[in-house]
Amino acid sequence: MHNIGNDIVDLNLAKTQSNWQRKGFLEKQFTQKEQDEILSSENPFLKVWLFWSMKEAAYKCYTQKFKERFFAPQKFECTIISKDKGMVVFEENTFYTESISNALYTSTIAREKKEETVIFFAVGLASTIDLDLKIKLAAETGVSCKGIEKRKTTIGAPLFYYKEELLTTSCSISHHGNYGAYAYNIGSKF
């Protein structure tokens, strides 16, 4: 089973709720390399939230694998590979990321394997993201949407079942402000 994680940042909400320029913020959240990249960026605000999204997605992937929760964003180091691809390294673990950024949000999916092919990913309104995910799952698996149930693991990660049959082997859902995003792997039976 390959674990995945995702994160989304509503950029308009981030502008009003988070002052990334306040004293100590960058030092507590980002490595020196990341801070240098943020401060030399054409748009430091967007770079902050891209890195944050990458770190959160990698953290969610890590916690699904190792079943432990903690807060240590500075220990997850981001590297941009191309416009939409990156890597996040934490201890001995490397996570491969793919990000979407526009004027409204920044969203990232992280995976353990560089070339994962069975992941489904979507961004939508926060208020409908769970229903959107169930509709997509029903279409992919051929089961009734009404029978799909979300259950949380011991660390709070969602998994989806139809009756007692596991549909997703790994799933990550995130919400921030007006937006939500999800990513999942479906079981090998489907």
What pLDDT score does 34 carry? 98
The pLDDT of residue 127 is 86
| Residue 133 host element (H or E) | helix 129-141
Cβ distance 171 to 137 under 8 Å?
no
- Tens digits of per-residue pLDDT, 21-62? 899 999 999 999 999 999 999 999 999 999 999 999 999 999
Residue 168 CA, chain-centre distance (Å), reads: 16
Residue 109: strand pairing partners? 6, 98
Query: How, if at all, do strands 85-90 and 179-186 pair?
Result: unpaired
CB within 8 Å of 177: residues ≥ 6 apart = 10, 12, 13, 14, 105, 126
pTM of the predicted protein model: 0.92
What residues make up the domain containing 75? 4-186
The C-alpha atoms of residue 108 and residue 111 are separated, in whole angstroms, by 10
Q: Can you give the length of the chain in residues? A: 190
Residue 1 has pLDDT above 80, yes or no: no
For the chain, what is the domain count?
Answer: 1
**What is the average pLDDT value for the chain, to the nearest integer?**
91
Q: What is the CATH number of the domain that holds 170?
A: 3.90.470.20
Strands 4-10 and 105-111: antiparallel
| pLDDT, tens only, 100-141 | 999 999 999 999 987 665 467 778 888 888 899 999 999 989
